[in-house]
Each structure stands twice: as structure tokens, then as C-alpha cells.
Chain A
Amino acid sequence: MTSHYTGSKNHTPTPGQTRSFRIWFHRFGSSSYFYHMASRWGPRAGWLALILMVTGVYMGLFVAPPDYQMGDSYRIIFIHVPSAWMSLSVYVLMAVSSAIGLIWKMKVSFCVSRACAPIGAAFTFCALVTGSLWGKPTWGTYWIWDARLTSELVLLFLYVGYMALDKAIPDRNTASRATAVLALVGLVNIPIIHYSVEWWNTLHQGSTVFRMDGPSIDARMLVPLLITTVAMNLYFVSVLFNRVRCELLDLERRTQWVRKIVNG
């Protein structure tokens, strides 16, 4: 009988792995591929995001009609709602890419989740600030312990915890795997937190966009909302790519492809 414990990737070594045991060439291909892909598409997404954002905000401020109840103050939804959507979907992306990183040991996906965190936190913060600004004319106060605002606040705590853990662990590999575990735990917890907070208190108006019988808002309001949502997504992609590029350069600073880029 033989017992053996082995390294992570050597049960069926691919030709590439057996040929080169050089660790600093580890994942050479995918990292540099991602880097170059990101350098190409990041700026394009950024410009497109800017154009769409300007269009969406213009339409939201000048084309869309005022709300019959809330007047003009509702126009903050063109920022607030996409930010709130983004805050959640960025967390999901962060957790999913953490899972990919843990399962397939891909460094690039750890870089993606680590780059997601500050952006997601910024979206969450933005959603909270715009939400409370909107709350002043609507509820007469900047803060109400409303279910969705509270959930959003807890989401911000989750992001902060993630980033704090990431900063606290000095070793990079350990940090990215530890934060990956935390992101997954958070992902399992988000629905539980959401529904418990929902159950705890529901004051906010019901969801008005996602309904089985179609959206209940005016098309002139919906179109700018969708445009700003797409713009926010593109903005996210652009910023994410930039951050991942920095992460990759730092991570792979010992490799030749990085030296080539740095030395011009």
C-alpha cells in the first residue's frame, strides 16, 4: 500500500508543467493574457461608460417627467438604483471568482475578487449616500431604519470586513485565500441577512422595476435608468480591469513579461 501526499497540480501533469518547474513562470500564460486583454478592453469600456452615463443622466434630468408624488427628487434613482444593484452583483462576482480561485487555484481570479472589494464598497457607499439624500425629501429624515437601507449598510460592513482582513494578512497568498473563504461565507449569509432584515422591518416602497407583469414605471423614466445601469456596469468593468492589471503587475513582478512591460 502506498500513501502519498502530493502537491496541488501534479497528479496528471500536463506537458507544460512537467517541462518547466519554474515557479515564477507559474500561470505565465493566463496572467499575461488577462493583462493584455484588460489593457485593451478597460479603456474602451471606460469611454463607453462615460458616454452612456452622460446620456443617461441628461435623459434622467431633462427628458424624464417628474414623479406625480415625489416631484423631481426621485431623479436620484438614476444613480441610486444602479449603485444598489451593482453593490450586490459586485459582491456576488467577488464571491464567485473567489470560489473559482479556491477550486482551480487560479491567481487571476483571486486578483479579480481582491479588485472587486473596494469598487463594490464604493458602490455600496454611493447607494447609501444617495439613499439617505433621497430619504430627506421623501421621509423627512436622512436615515430611516428601513429594510433595504439596513441591508445595504450590512453589505458595507461585509465589504469593510473583507478589505480589513485582506490588509491585515501580510502574506499575499494567505490573504487571497482567507478573503476568498470570507467572501463565500458572506455570500451564503447575504440572503439570510437580507430576509431577516426584511422580516424585521419593511417600510420601503415595494420593488417597482422587476415585476412579473412588466415594469410599472413610465418608459421615459425606465430608459434612462437602464442606460445608467449599463453605464455603471461598463464603468465597473473598466475600473476592475485597471485594478486587476495593477494587481497582476504586483503579483507577477518577478516574471519576465512584467519586466518587459516595465522596462518598455
Chain B
Amino acid sequence: MNTETKDIPSVDTHANQALLSVESLTCVRSDIPLFSNLSFSLGKSQSLRILGPNGSGKTTLIRTMAGIHKPAMGQVHWNIGQQGSRGFASKPKIAYIGHTTGIRGELTAIENLEFHARINGNLSGISPTECLEKMNVAHCSKLPCIRLSAGQRQRVALSRLSLNQYDLWLLDEPATSLDDQGIDLLLDLAGHHLNAGGIIIYCSHQSIHYGLKHDREIDLRNFKEQPPQC
């Protein structure tokens, strides 16, 4: 179907072939280059942790992977479609949990999840209530989300991860305002996701990385180009 996938052995579907590859990505915010020439690739069940100080472009990288930002240069490739087991469509299914939760205050947790289920096409058959139970917030599913605490809202947002069999999770500081139990639940979910062959890219300053294994680490400081000196 295309040239990128022809050298990948199609017999062994469990080999760690590159499912997602990023080539020479360069991102710019407000004319300031954040990082350049960033390349990496991830296969099934792999996770990547992005490191870097504030302002180094972690969020920008994650949003670029989600397709929200356009990179100044470089590209993001998805080699999907040849595995029958996960039933890939041509478009990768991406779950993104950002700094803003994507949770509408007027709606209840259930309604929020239902909306996300609808816009993402249909799901893996898991009901919104079950998703909420996985993050242990089912008890407040009937309340408007504006009345929930920040941690509870974050849990509702994270419940979205169970809505679908996503190919890629993009987690931008997912442990924000979560308590220990919340972090444990998130780690559980992440473990299941990786076992099912999914990919995770995340950045976090918090203790979540003690529990969540990561196969790769990228420090964005290494990809920052210095401006030319006079």
C-alpha cells in the first residue's frame, strides 16, 4: 500500500515493529524554536516519557503528536492497518488528556463521557458508567461536573481512556490533582493499555513515573538548538 511498510516483516505481528515513528520533528512557538530534529519510533506496548524543564516544549510535542499543532518541519508516521487483531482503521485512535480536561461543567460526568463516546464514533462496548467505575468516580456521575473537585474532574477526564481501544494515549501531566488512589488507578489502566498493545506518550513531574514503566525517555533539552552567536 505504501513504501514505508514494505520492509516490515508481515509474518510476525508481535515483533516490536515501529507503529509510530516521528521523523526530524521541529516545533516553533511564537517564532521561538522549541526543539528540532526530534526523531523516535515506538512499537506496540511501548511507552515514552518526555522530560524537560518548563517551557522546553513538552506540551507542544504532545499536542503535535495529537495533530493539534502543525510542526514547523518533520512528520509523524503511523504504520497501521496490517494488523487484523486490533482492527486498525486508517486513522489512528488517539486519546489526549491535556492541561484542560475537556470536561464541560454544565454536564454530568455521564453526559460528558457519552458526548466523548459519540464524537469518537463507537466504542469497545464499555458503558460510560463502567469507565467511571474504573477511575472510582461513579458515585458522582449524576452531578454537574462544575460541582466536582479538581481531582474528581481529572478522574472523569481520565475515565475517557477506557471508552475506546485507543492506539495511543497522550498524557500531559495526567497525575495533576490526583490523590494516591487516583494515581494507582491510572497506573492500572495504563498497564492494561500497554498489555493490550497500546502506546503511551506522557510527561509528568510527579511520582507517576515510579510506577509506570517506560521503555524510552526523551529529554527535550538535547534537541534544543542554540541560536547563532554573533
Q: Do chains A and B touch in the complex (CB under 8 A)?
A: yes
Mark A residues whose CB is within 8 Å of B.
1-10, 17, 21-24, 26, 171-173, 251, 254, 256, 259, 263
Q: Does B144 contact A (CB under 8 A)?
A: no
Query: For residue B78, which residues in chain A have a CB less than 8 angstroms away from its CB?
Result: 2-4
User: Which B residues between 77 and 106 are near A, CB-CB below 8 angstroms?
Assistant: 77-82, 88, 90-92
Q: Interface segment, B22-30, B154-162, B188-196?
A: B22-30
Chain B's closest residue to A170 (CB) is B30
Q: Could you say which of A3, A24, A26, A259 has the most chain B C-beta atoms within 10 Å of its C-beta?
A: A3
| Residue from B26, B30, B77, B88 in contact with A4 in the complex, judged by beta carbons closer than 8 Å | B77
Query: For residue B82, which residues in chain A have a CB less than 8 angstroms away from its CB?
Result: 1
B170 to chain A, nearest CB (A): 14
> Once bound together, how far apart are the Cα atoms of A21 and B225, in whole Å?
10
Known contacts A2-B2, A3-B90, A23 near B79 by CB under 8 Å:
no
In addition to A3-B80, A7-B26, A21-B73, 15 A-B residue pairs with Cβ atoms within 8 Å of each other are A1-B90, A2-B78, A2-B80, A5-B67, A5-B70, A6-B71, A7-B70, A10-B74, A10-B75, A21-B36, A21-B37, A22-B36, A23-B33, A256-B230, A263-B230
Interface contact A23-B2, CB-CB below 8 Å: no
Query: For residue B88, which residues in chain A have a CB less than 8 angstroms away from its CB?
Result: 1
Q: Does B121 contact A (CB under 8 A)?
A: no
Q: Does B76 contact A (CB under 8 A)?
A: yes
Interface contact B81-A2, CB-CB below 8 Å: yes
> Once bound together, how far apart are the Cα atoms of A263 and B230, in whole Å?
10
Main secondary structure of the interface of B (DSSP, over half): loop
Chain B's closest residue to A13 (CB) is B73
> Once bound together, how far apart are the Cα atoms of A259 and B227, in whole Å?
13
B84 to chain A, nearest CB (A): 13
Interface contact A24-B92, CB-CB below 8 Å: no
Interface contact B33-A3, CB-CB below 8 Å: no
| Residue from B5, B75, B81, B228 in contact with A24 in the complex, judged by beta carbons closer than 8 Å | B228
Interface contact A259-B230, CB-CB below 8 Å: yes
> Once bound together, how far apart are the Cα atoms of A179 and B68, in whole Å?
21
Pairs across A and B, CB under 8 Å, 28 listed? A1-B80, A2-B2, A2-B78, A2-B80, A3-B80, A3-B91, A4-B75, A5-B67, A5-B76, A6-B71, A6-B74, A6-B75, A6-B76, A7-B25, A7-B70, A7-B74, A7-B75, A8-B72, A9-B73, A10-B73, A22-B225, A23-B28, A23-B33, A23-B72, A24-B33, A171-B30, A254-B227, A263-B230
